[in-house]
Structure 1
Amino acid sequence: MAEPVVVGVDGSPSSLEAVGAAAREAALRGTGLRLVHAFGWPSIRPPPGVPPWTPAAAGVRELVDGTLVKAEQRAREVTPHLEITREVTVGEPLMVLEIESRTACLVVVGSRGLGAFGSLLLGSTAVHLAAHGRCPVLVVRGGPNPTGPVLLAVDGSPAGEKAVEFAFAEAAMRNAGLLALHVWNTWSERAYEGPGDPLNVVVDIERLRAAEQQLLDETLSPWQTRYPQVAVERRLVRSRIRTALIDASHDAQLVVAGARGRGGFTGLLLGSVSQALLHHAHCPVAVVRGEE
């Protein structure tokens, strides 16, 4: 069996949505689904003579089993014949998912939940997981358009090459089109427009536009040859990058972005664009780390 799709489970509605999405991803890849439920370490010491804390010893085994049964039922509703395994462990959920990502092809999480898994988009946990996971991370959020394209944020950087590969593969598996969006003038979040803008005064705009178009074409061409069945729309936009991508996500079924593009600080493992998408995109977001 190939590397499984791993999904974090906590019993919340958002978690069950993530299970459904993870089941679909596993079916598309022809691999198994791994349901992972993690308990945080207890804040109190067990009484004398009581063995170290475990789900069974704490009297919550029934609760855990019920949560996992519901999760598995949800997965079966999506893909009845999927191979499903369960993992219940004691540990900090983020660390557990990081470890699971080492032997997974994809980690899927919901945007909100009941426990530590549920704080994903309320704090820095999703950002940390997307930055440090050893495989692509899919955060299930928004209302995806099931007939829409896979939206790829193209920046032309070497670090973004893995995201391009992932987006083409996803589009092929989903029988969907691919919208490759490259936004320029991205070193500032101000949109430079009009003949009086400083950029227009000191730069040959048409030459810059041609260079950005060439970057977009060179990034996509090898992968279009590899995936000829994927219909690709190349879109070059002069705008604020975060605004343009979030707006385009309205009509997409999935957004794919690299963990860090050419516009970010090289010391950061997750760029501001990916963070903005994780918090504000209108459909699920896949963050794909590039080569170290």
Structure 2
Amino acid sequence: MTRNRVVVGIDGSTSSRSALVWAAHEARLRGLGLLVVHSRFRPSYDVVFAGGFYLPPIADEEDEMAEILRVAVELAREVDAQLEVEVSARTGPPAASLLEAAGERAELVVVGSRGLGAFGSLFLGSVSIHLAARSPVPVVVVPAETPFSTVGPVVVGVDGSPHSRTAVVEAAREAVRRQVPLDVVASYTVPADLLVTPLTTGREELREAFRAQAQENADEAARAASAEDDDLLVRTHVVEGPPAEEIARVADPASLVVVGSRGHGELTGPMLGSVSQHLLRHARWPVLVTHEH
């Protein structure tokens, strides 16, 4: 399947407006088309089968959906009048609608970090978390009022896991597209019980061993990133501290932060790692979540 478009989910909120404009810029940068998805659902409850189901939108809702999509096309065309823009009005939960769209020739899915919060229009933080955990393609979560930028560096967190290696390749490609440096962050923490127990000897040696492993992860990531483009400037940061906090600290001037959906020590399955979740919930910059396949 040829993946030739960026998908963005909207609900009319400020956050989804930011996501729409960001997605239009990214589609132009990648030379792709843009698919705008708006989902509306009315959940109901079946007392006979004791299960939930979804009712189609009523006529007034259909008119509102059409208006939201019309305005979305205008906003996208303000970014690039030549941008190929398609729209899709769907029923059912927003996360499910976007997952469906992700499997339809999408190269990237973009969503806002928050939504309206009204019943029946639910692009909330939980939707972005759900989508980032399960999407077959990378997902970008854009905080409200966050402009698209090609100025700040791209920042990627690494830990040596397969998901981390996938994130490095995607981050390198994004940095090359923007013509900005790539900052690789490898953090490490020494378990507290290993430092305080009387049976532990050589605590500094233990800390140095953790630091050396983080340095190895950073060096491996730098080599993989440089393989994507010889001219890419790659800077490594090996730091002691919680991964999410250290990535956020380095990312203060970032145009994009990239993380894997899971890292070492996470449970397997369609879920999002704690570092990725923390960054998505507290991000001040767009966060791109990759998936290792």
**Range into which the TM-score falls when normalised by the shorter chain:** 0.7 to 0.9
| Cross-structure match for 1:12 | 13
Instruction: Report runs of 4+ in structure 1 exceeding 4 Å deviation.
Output: 52-55, 115-119, 142-145, 190-194
Distance apart, 1:85 and its partner CA: 0.4
| Cross-structure match for 1:167 | 171
Taking only the aligned residue pairs, the percentage that are identical comes to 37
Q: TM-score under structure 2 normalisation?
A: 0.85
Distance apart, 1:60 and its partner CA: 2.9
| Cross-structure match for 1:48 | none
| Cross-structure match for 1:156 | 160
Matched position secondary structure for 2:258: strand
Cα distance change on mapping 1:192 and 1:25 into 2, 3 Å: farther
* Cα distance between partner residues in 2 of 1:117 and 1:220: 42
For structure 1, which segment, 155-164 or 13-22, has the greater mean C-alpha deviation from structure 2 after superposition?
155-164
Distance apart, 1:223 and its partner CA: 2.6
* Cα distance between partner residues in 1 of 2:71 and 2:202: 58
For structure 1, which segment, 259-268 or 280-289, has the greater mean C-alpha deviation from structure 2 after superposition?
259-268
Cα pair 1:94 1:117 within 8 Å, conserved = no
| Cross-structure match for 2:49 | none
* Cα distance between partner residues in 2 of 1:245 and 1:259: 15
Distance apart, 1:19 and its partner CA: 0.5
Distance apart, 1:164 and its partner CA: 1.1
* Cα distance between partner residues in 2 of 1:200 and 1:14: 50
Unaligned runs of 5+ in 2: 47-53
1:178 and 2:182 equivalent?
Answer: yes
* Cα distance between partner residues in 2 of 1:28 and 1:193: 48
| Cross-structure match for 2:70 | 69
CA offsets 1:32-54 (integer angstroms, 9 cap, x no match): 00010111135499xxxxxx965
Residues 109-148 of structure 1 mapped to structure 2, 5 A cutoff: 109-114=111-116, 115=118, 118-121=122-125, 124-141=126-143, 143=146, 146=149, 147-148=151-152
Cα distance change on mapping 1:232 and 1:261 into 2, 3 Å: same
Residues 41-120 of structure 1 mapped to structure 2, 5 A cutoff: 41=42, 43=44, 54-55=56-57, 58-103=59-104, 104-114=106-116, 115=118, 118-120=122-124
Cα pair 1:191 1:240 within 8 Å, conserved = no
* Cα distance between partner residues in 1 of 2:78 and 2:194: 49
Cα pair 1:152 1:180 within 8 Å, conserved = yes
Cα distance change on mapping 1:201 and 1:207 into 2, 3 Å: closer
| Cross-structure match for 2:226 | 224
1:23 partner amino acid:
A
For structure 1, which segment, 165-174 or 225-234, has the greater mean C-alpha deviation from structure 2 after superposition?
225-234
Distance apart, 1:131 and its partner CA: 0.8
Cα pair 1:111 1:118 within 8 Å, conserved = no
Distance apart, 1:4 and its partner CA: 1.1
2:94 partner amino acid:
P
Q: TM-score under structure 1 normalisation?
A: 0.85
| Cross-structure match for 2:273 | 271
* Cα distance between partner residues in 1 of 2:194 and 2:153: 28
CA RMSD for the aligned pairs? Answer: 2.9
2:136 partner amino acid:
R
1:88 partner amino acid:
A
2:177 partner amino acid:
M
2:277 partner amino acid:
Q
| Cross-structure match for 1:26 | 27
For structure 1, which segment, 158-167 or 30-39, has the greater mean C-alpha deviation from structure 2 after superposition?
158-167
* Cα distance between partner residues in 2 of 1:105 and 1:119: 20
Unaligned runs of 5+ in 1: 46-51
